A and B are shown apart, each in its own frame.
Chain A
Amino acid sequence: MELKLDLALILTGVLWGAVLVLGLMAWRRGRILLREGLRTGGLDFIHILPRIMLGVVGSGYLAAVMPQSLIIQWIGPQSGFLGVAIAAVFGAITPGGAVVGFAIAATALKTGGGAPQVIAYATAWALISLQRTLVWEVPAMPAQFVTMRLLASVPLPFLAALGAMLIGRP
């Protein structure tokens, strides 16, 4: 626990160190650039604040009302590759952004989902997310490319889960 806290502190330090370096780089190119960066970043923060508050505060309550036996049965540690497949399908069809995806993944993990299965969920959601693909990728990219990319992504949730099973972590 103590190690984890230190890690979190170091990460925060690294992040703010990067902010400092980037801010200096922007400042050297002109004060306006620095001000513009601070403004844009600050506005982004304010924009996502409601979502992150909702997601973080809400995931505890969502976990508390989840039907635990169902989660364990479908995607629990004993569910094997069928559970991985179920989790991957759910990941691919989960709509919305990072808050939705990780709130669901965190809930699944808290209520007894197996780590490899939750990793498969997160991987499928990150790579395939049908809503993101349809709304953002299809309009911007050639159709053949999108098809090949999706096909090439299908094995990855299973490989990620397999990797987690083999090393026995997390």
Chain B
Amino acid sequence: MSRAMSTPSPTQPPPAGRRKRRSFDWSTAVIGTLVVSAGSAVLWRDGWAPFLSILTHDLTLLVDILPKVLAGCLIGAFVMMLLPREVVARWVGGESGFVGLVIATLVGTFLPGGPFSIYPITAALLTLGADVGTATTFIAAWSLLGYNRALVWELPFMGGDFTFWRVAVSLPLPILAGLFARLLWKVLINRDDPA
């Protein structure tokens, strides 16, 4: 958390040294416990055949998606290295109005990275003069349309049909969120400033 607090400045050095991620945290432990319990329950209730059939199906799925996950990780690493976050912040922060929302949607969609990098970038956007709507659109696009999350995580778990249609119905949402945020800002926080 202290990392996130120290990063709102756009002059932050490239994120090469930010990685200190554990591969096993408490939420993984919770899921692990649930999975082991569920697996044992299936074995105890239904016997070996259903247990193994589920295992085979899920292992096939795993083999299918691992190459994608590896590619996703490499893309993320290269983009973060080739594209310093102050460049991104300048792209998105420099435009206002509706164009700003469209650019924020595009950049948010194609920028890889997790919460440890996306919020500092957004904070940098705000200091560079982006308004609340642009920043809201950026975060919404990253979380709803981000190709990284969709391809690496959603596709294998949810299947192509679900992922495609979820993304399709979500396409207009980041811009709507930005417009809502601008409206709320105007009504609730600053009535005079056309945010």
Contact = CB atoms under 8 A, between A and B. Distances in A.
A48 B114 CA distance: 12
B135 A149 contact: yes
A156 B177 contact: yes
A36 B76 CA distance: 12
A65 B40 CA distance: 10
Given A15-B71, A48-B69, A153-B177, A55 B31 contact: yes
A115 B178 CA distance: 26
B135 to A, nearest CB: 6
A4 to B, nearest CB: 5
Contact of A140 (B8, B21, B157): B8
Interface string B122-138: 11001000001001100
Q: How large is the interface on A (under 10, 10 to 19, 20 to 34, 35 or more residues)?
A: 35 or more
B27 A95 contact: yes
B35 A8 contact: no
Interface string A36-73: 11101111111111111111111111101100000000
Contacts of A36: 16, 81
A12 B121 CA distance: 28
B115 A132 contact: yes
B39 interface: yes
Interface of A: 4, 7-8, 11-12, 15-16, 18-19, 22-23, 25-26, 29, 33, 36-38, 40-62, 64-65, 95-100, 102-103, 105-106, 109, 115, 118-119, 122-123, 126-127, 132, 135-137, 139-142, 144-145, 148-149, 151-153, 155-156, 159-160, 163-164, 167, 169-170
23 contacts: A7-B160, A15-B71, A16-B67, A22-B75, A29-B82, A37-B77, A37-B81, A38-B77, A40-B77, A41-B74, A51-B31, A54-B28, A58-B39, A60-B57, A61-B39, A65-B42, A98-B149, A123-B144, A123-B173, A141-B119, A145-B136, A148-B189, A155-B176
Question: Which 6 pairs of residues, A with B, have the shortest CB-CB distance?
Answer: A58-B35, A96-B27, A163-B169, A41-B77, A41-B74, A152-B180
